[in-house]
């Protein structure tokens, strides 16, 4: 596979951009390779600057539920751009977008748009603190909620991949207000609450973690969180930046039947454009300025292009609820094929899947939390990744990330992927 142009661009990029990339995992460091520079995406495929084409399963890290460049989103953007890119004023589309989110997610009575998932989670924590008049919050080891200072404590995703779960630049004061619990372990939460009585503003969790690989919460664990937060007057926040509108039309909370107090969104709600949102109970949301004292703002929040793309995506979801059955069918088919390959090679590598999110871990232990996830053989994953890439299959360049199946993936795509998976595993184990 010729990658000469990508190599040249990466060398040039390193002169002007730290590490040559604008988001760390893209550097391919953990898989022992160098990044490919992508020039065009269409459906389930994209192409790099050297003309290599791949069946890909990162979907821009989750947003592309319908594959790359679907016609209905492209048309929505073309229509919007005719009128301008940003006004810094309210638009009708913001109202329609907020209305649609509240229709799809029953726990959300009011919602505010922001520009990224990090902004959404950061704002949700501030709001919870303002609402409860408390300062501390609980997060879970291995969950990633963006790169705000107080979240970078045993974080997942890029922080976990690069081995720096607590980043330099995070102050002791920020770290002191972040209490760390064990994922899927309700007793660890109870101990923290008991030792910090009436000091905890919020519990924030990815109900389907997608940043230590795909690790779903246990139903009884989330039920326990809901009960504890209610009794202790703690704000329960579901970070559904990744799982929102991905695993069901109402997110992971719809699958589990558990309503949080606040929810954060991103990725799919922008239709592929940068966007975020947080919403929940009106009583809490009305604490935000200009109604209340909790300040939050964003110059480009709710900009017409992101709203047009996001509204088109969510409207398509609302009008075509059957897509989740189709996604389940595709993802199950791919999972089964990969599991059959693993079994045929006398291995028992862990595979986790929730809807169209899935991950194979290079460990034979059940993966249900951070401690079990990090037992994965990351060096072996790197070899496997490179073998898959050589066969035209582009996966996440990190063990601790999700694969995303889209409606655009065809049976032919899935069959090619299953075959490549068997050949790649055979070559590295």
pLDDT tens figures, 173-232: 777 789 999 999 999 999 999 999 999 999 999 999 999 999 999 999 999 999 999 999
Residues 110 and 255 placed together within one structural domain of the fold: yes
Q: CA 314 → CA 17, 146, 267, 269, 388, distances in Å?
A: 34, 23, 11, 7, 32
Residues 140 and 80 placed together within one structural domain of the fold: yes
pLDDT computed for residue 164 by the predictor = 46
Residues 148 and 258 placed together within one structural domain of the fold: yes
Residues 285 and 347 placed together within one structural domain of the fold: no
Instruction: Check: CB of residue 429 under 8 Å from CB of residue 345.
Output: yes
- Would you tell me the crossing angle of helices 378-390 and 411-428 to the nearest 10 degrees? 130
Q: Which residues contact 176 (CB under 8 A, 6 or more apart)?
A: none
Give the H/E segment covering residue 114: strand 110-114
Joined together, the tokens standing for residue 297 give 């703002």
Residues 62 and 110 placed together within one structural domain of the fold: no
CA angle 102, 236, 111 (to 5 degrees): 25
Residues 159 and 232 placed together within one structural domain of the fold: yes
* Range of lowest pLDDT (4-8, 57-61, 166-170): 166-170
Residues shown for the chain: 429
DSSP state of 427: H
User: How much is the average pLDDT of 73-93?
Assistant: 96
Q: State the total domains in the chain.
A: 2
Q: Which residues contact 35 (CB under 8 A, 6 or more apart)?
A: 6, 10, 20, 21, 26, 27, 28, 397
pLDDT tens figures, 306-320: 999 999 999 999 999
Annotated active-site residue in 57, 131, 144, 311: 144
Joined together, the tokens standing for residue 88 give 């810094």
Q: CA 82 → CA 72, 242, 302, distances in Å?
A: 16, 30, 17
Nearest-angstrom CA–CA distance, 271 and 128: 28
**Domain extent at residue 49:** 4-69+323-428
Q: CA 245 → CA 76, 149, 309, 367, 405, distances in Å?
A: 19, 27, 14, 24, 13
- Alpha carbon 41 to its chain centroid, in Å, reads 20
Q: Which residues contact 336 (CB under 8 A, 6 or more apart)?
A: none
* Residue that terminates a domain, selected from 274, 293, 319: 319
pLDDT computed for residue 166 by the predictor = 63
Residues 102 and 156 placed together within one structural domain of the fold: yes
What is the band of 120 on the pLDDT scale with cuts at 50, 70, 90?
Answer: very high
Residues 309 and 371 placed together within one structural domain of the fold: no
CA angle 274, 275, 281 (to 5 degrees): 170
Annotated active-site residue in 177, 239, 261, 413: 239
Annotated active-site residue in 29, 110, 136, 267: 267
**239 included as an active-site residue:** yes
Residues 294 and 342 placed together within one structural domain of the fold: no
CATH number of the domain residue 418 falls in: 3.90.1150.10
pLDDT computed for residue 175 by the predictor = 74
Report the SS3 class of residue 326. helix
Residue 106's CB is within 10 A of a number of other CB atoms, namely 11
**pLDDT tops 80 at residue 168:** no
* Residue that terminates a domain, selected from 285, 319, 353: 319
Residues 245 and 145 placed together within one structural domain of the fold: yes
Instruction: Check: CB of residue 381 under 8 Å from CB of residue 33.
Output: no
CA angle 119, 103, 214 (to 5 degrees): 55
pLDDT computed for residue 305 by the predictor = 97
Residues 263 and 409 placed together within one structural domain of the fold: no
Residues 309 and 328 placed together within one structural domain of the fold: no
Whether pTM exceeds 0.85: yes
* Residue that terminates a domain, selected from 295, 319, 343: 319
Burial profile 372-398: b = 16 or more Cβ within 10 angstroms, e = fewer: bbbebbbebbbbbbbbbbebbbbbbbb
**144 included as an active-site residue:** yes
Give burial (CB, 10 Å; 0-12/13-18/19+) of 66. Answer: buried
């Amino acid at each position: 596979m010729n990658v000469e142009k990508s190599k040249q661009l990466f060398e040039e990029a390193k002169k002007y951009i730290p590490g040559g990339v604008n988001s760390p995992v893209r550097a391919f460091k953990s898989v022992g390779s160098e990044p490919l520079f992508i020039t065009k995406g269409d459906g389930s495929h994209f192409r790099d600057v050297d003309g290599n084409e791949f069946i890909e399963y990162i979907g821009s890290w989750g947003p592309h539920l319908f594959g790359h460049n679907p016609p209905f989103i492209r048309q929505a953007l073309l229509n919007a751009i005719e009128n301008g890119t940003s006004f810094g004023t309210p638009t009708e589309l913001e109202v329609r977008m907020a209305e649609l989110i509240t229709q799809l997610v029953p726990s959300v009575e009011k919602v505010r748009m922001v520009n990224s998932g990090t902004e959404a989670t950061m704002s949700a924590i501030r709001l919870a603190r303002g609402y409860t008049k408390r300062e501390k919050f609980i997060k879970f080891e291995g969950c990633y909620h963006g790169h705000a200072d107080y979240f970078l404590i045993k974080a997942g995703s890029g922080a976990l991949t690069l081995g720096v779960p607590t980043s330099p630049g995070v102050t002791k004061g920020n770290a002191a207000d972040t209490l760390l619990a064990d994922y899927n372990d309700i007793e660890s939460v109870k101990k923290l609450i008991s030792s910090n009585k009436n000091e905890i503003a919020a519990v924030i969790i990815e109900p389907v973690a997608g940043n230590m690989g795909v690790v779903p919460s246990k139903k009884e664990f989330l039920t326990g969180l809901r009960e504890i937060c209610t009794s202790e007057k703690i704000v329960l926040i579901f970070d559904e930046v990744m799982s929102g509108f991905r695993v069901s039309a109402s997110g992971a909370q719809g699958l589990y039947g558990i309503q949080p107090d606040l929810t954060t969104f991103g990725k799919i709600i922008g239709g592929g454009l940068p966007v975020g949102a947080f919403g929940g109970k009106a009583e809490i949301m009305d604490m935000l300025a200009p109604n209340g004292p909790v300040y939050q703002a964003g110059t480009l929040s709710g900009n017409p292009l992101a709203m047009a793309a996001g509204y088109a995506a969510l409207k398509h979801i609302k009008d075509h609820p059957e897509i989740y059955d189709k996604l389940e069918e595709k993802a199950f088919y791919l999972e089964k094929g990969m599991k059959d390959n693993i079994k045929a090679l006398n291995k028992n590598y862990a595979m986790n899947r929730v809807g169209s999110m899935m991950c194979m871990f290079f460990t034979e232990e059940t993966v249900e939390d951070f401690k079990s996830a990090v037992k994965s053989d990351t060096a072996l994953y790197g070899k496997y990744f490179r073998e898959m890439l050589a066969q035209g299959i582009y996966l996440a360049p990190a063990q601790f990330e999700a694969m995303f199946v889209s409606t655009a993936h065809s049976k032919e795509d899935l069959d090619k992927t299953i075959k490549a998976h068997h050949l790649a595993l055979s070559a590295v184990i």
